[in-house]
Amino acid sequence: MLSFDSAVRPGTPLLHLSIASAPQWPPITWRNIHKEVRWFSLAVLVLTPLVALYGSTTTVMRRETLTFCLFYYFFNMTGITAGYHRLWSHRSYTASLPLQYLLACAGSGAVQGSIRFWARLHRAHHRYTDTSMDPYSAHLGFWHSHFGWMLLKPRVRPGRVEAGDLQNNGVITWQHRWYFWLAAFWGLIAPVAFCGLGWGDWWGGWYYAGFARLVAVHHSTFAVNSVAHWLGSTPYSDKHTPRDHLITAFLTLGEGYHNFHHQFPSDYRNAVRWYQYDPTKWFISLCACFRLASNLQRFRESEIQKCRLMMEIKKLKRTQDDIEEKWGWGTDPQHLEIWSWDQFKEASMKRPLMVISGFVHDVSSFVYEHPGGEAYLRAYTAKDATSAFHGGSYDHSDAAVNVSALPESNRSRADRETLL
C-alpha cells in the first residue's frame, strides 16, 4: 500500500512538492524482507566476487590473460562512460549508428542493466540529487549509494524524468529487448572464448577475464556514486555531495571528476584541464575526428570560470572567518572612542602615542621591538606619523599594517577635523 505526504505548504517549490508527494512503501521488516530483496542483483553481486576469489586460488594468471583483462576492462568501461552515461543519459554528443551498436555491446558486457534502465535512473539521480527520490542518494549512506540501492527495493519511487528519447531510439530498443543474451555473450562467453581459443587459457578466461574483470568493472563504476560523493574536492559547487576524486577518475576513465559533471552535465568532458585524466573525453574526440561522433557539447568557458571563482571566494571567506575567530582582525572602528587632537596630545605625555591613518596607536609594548629601532618610533610620538608610515620614512609592509590593527595597539580614533 502506498502512502503520501499531503502536508505541503503553499508556495513550496515544484521539486520539493514532487519529493513531498512521492509515493512511499512501508518500511522493511523481518516479515517482509524476503519480498523486498532484489534476489537476482544480490546473486550477481555476491557470486561474482566469490567465483573470482576461488579462481585466484586455483588458477594461475597468465600474462596474455592479464593483458586481455585490461583491454576488456577498458572496452566495457568505455561502453558505460561514453555510451550509457555521456551519450544516452546526457546526450552530450551525437553518435553514428555503428558507434552506437559498438557502445551498446560494450556496455552490455559490463552487466549493469540495459541502457534504458541505466540512463533513466541516472537522469533521476541528477534531477533529484541527494533527495529521497535520488535512486542512489549519498545521504542514505556510503554503502547504499555504492550497491545497497540495487539489493533492496527503494522505499521511495525514483523521481520522474523525461525519457521519451530512450523509448524511441532503435539501438536502445534492440539492446533492451535482447539484453539478457547480450549481457551473457559480451559479459562472459566472449571473454572466455577469446582466452580459450587465443592461447588455450579456458579457466583463466572463465575466472579472470570473466568474473574478476566483471567485479572490477562493477565496483569501479559504483565508486562514482559512493566514493565520488564522499571524498575529494568541490572546485565548482558545494551545493550537493558530488566531488572531484582522482582515484575514481583513474578507475572509471574520467568519471571521477564528479563535481564538474554535476555542475555541467551536458558537457561531453568530465575533465577540462590539460593534465586531468579523462580517456572517455579523448575517445569521443577521436571518434569525432573519424566522423563517428558529432555535435560535441561544451559548456561556455566563462560560466565554468565563474563557478570556480565563486568557490574560491567561498573558500577565502571561510579562511577569513577562521582567522578572525582565532586571532581577530582588530577592533571595529565604529566601536573605538573618538579623541580630539588636544586629548591625543595630553595622553601622549603619559605614554608613547602616534596617529597613523586617522587612528591613535599606543606603541609602548612595541617600541623596543621595532625593526627600525626605538629612535624612529620616539621621533613620531605625539605626532601624525601617517606619511612616514606609508613611505615618507619607510613604506611599511601589509604585515605591519595588520599588526598595527591588533587589539594590543590600544587604538582610538582621532577626530578627523582636528587633524586637518
Render each residue's pLDDT in the chain as its tens digit; 420 residues.
Answer: 333 344 444 444 555 555 555 566 677 777 777 778 889 999 999 999 999 999 999 999 999 999 999 999 999 999 999 999 999 999 999 999 999 999 999 999 999 999 999 999 999 999 999 998 999 999 999 999 999 999 988 878 888 899 999 999 999 999 999 999 999 999 999 999 999 999 999 999 999 999 999 999 999 999 999 999 999 999 999 999 999 999 999 999 999 999 999 999 999 999 999 999 999 999 999 999 999 999 999 999 999 999 999 999 999 999 988 888 887 776 777 778 888 888 888 888 888 888 888 888 888 877 777 887 778 778 888 888 888 888 877 788 777 777 776 654 555 555 544 443
Contact 22, 159 (CB under 8 A): yes
Query: Any idea of the CA torsion for 136, 139, 142, 148, to the nearest 10 degrees?
Result: -40
Order across the sheet with 353-356: list the strands. Answer: 338-339, 412-414, 359-362, 353-356
Give how far the C-alpha of residue 300 lies from the chain's centroid of Cα atoms, to the nearest Å. 19
Would you state the pLDDT for residue 374? Answer: 78
List 37's β-bridge partners, or say none.
152
**Domains along the sequence of the chain with CATH:** 1-35 (no CATH), 37-297 (no CATH), 333-419 (3.10.120.10)
Would you state the pLDDT for residue 4? Answer: 37
- Residue that is written with C-alpha cell 568474473 in the block: 211
Would you state the pLDDT for residue 8? Answer: 43
Would you state the pLDDT for residue 395? Answer: 80
Cα separation of 58 and 46, whole Å? 19
Cα separation of 140 and 155, whole Å? 11
- H/E run at residue 414: strand 412-414
